[in-house]
Amino acid sequence: MQLVIGISIVMFVALLVGAILLIRKVAFEGGNLPLTAEWIGELSVERYRPMMRLLDGADLEFLRSQPGFKPEMARRIRYQRCQIFAGYLHCLSSDFRRVCSAIHLLMLHSGHDRPDLAAILVRHQVMFAAGMLVIHARLLLYGWGICGVDVNSVVKIFDVMQLELRSLVPAAVAAGVE
């Protein structure tokens, strides 16, 4: 019984540290802010559509039905797809941070206070960080063949924020902020 409690405490602490690091990474890293019409034009959810299908179980089910299938084949494919998926997650997180930083920058240089936009920005950053934490945990489990991973919620949050940025840029250009 004490072993179970000890393992539970260690896992809780590990998840807590992971959550803190992920929230800090998503919320506070600015990176480069290429606030140009070209960069904003390149932002698109379409870039992440392949990621949404990458961990679909249909391919593995098809593989299992083929003659000569070996379980290590499925493990190797899951491992490779996890690596590719992690690359997509990194890009999504980076794009999200840059969009949020650009919105923050536009708010700072705006002549109008926007407490509503600041609240939306913070709320979406927290929701994105929490969603990414869940996705990373589920990706780990997917690698072991335990469950699937759904990224629709974080992609939707990214989409909302990049649309918000697009709506702010014409106003910022008109005001001479860019």
Q: What is the pLDDT of residues 38-94, one digit of tens each?
A: 777 777 888 888 888 888 877 788 888 888 888 888 888 889 989 999 999 999 999
pLDDT confidence band for 7 (50 / 70 / 90): confident
Distance CA 178, CA 170 (A): 9
Rounded to the nearest integer, the mean pLDDT of the chain is 82
Whose CA is closest to 177, among 103, 84, 83?
A: 103
Report the predicted TM-score, pTM, of the whole model to 2 decimal places. 0.71
With H, G, I as helix, E, B as strand and everything else as coil, classify residue 37: helix
Q: What pLDDT is stored for residue 75 in this prediction? A: 86
Q: What pLDDT is stored for residue 108 in this prediction? A: 84
Distance CA 104, CA 177 (A): 12
Contact 172, 110 (CB under 8 A): yes
pLDDT confidence band for 178 (50 / 70 / 90): very low
Q: What pLDDT is stored for residue 176 in this prediction? A: 46
Q: What pLDDT is stored for residue 174 in this prediction? A: 42
Looking at residue 48, the DSSP 8-state letter turns out to be G
Looking at residue 45, the DSSP 8-state letter turns out to be G
The stretch 109-114 carries a mean pLDDT of: 80
Give the contacts of 103 (CB within 8 A, at least 6 positions apart).
117, 121, 161, 164, 165, 168
pLDDT confidence band for 26 (50 / 70 / 90): low
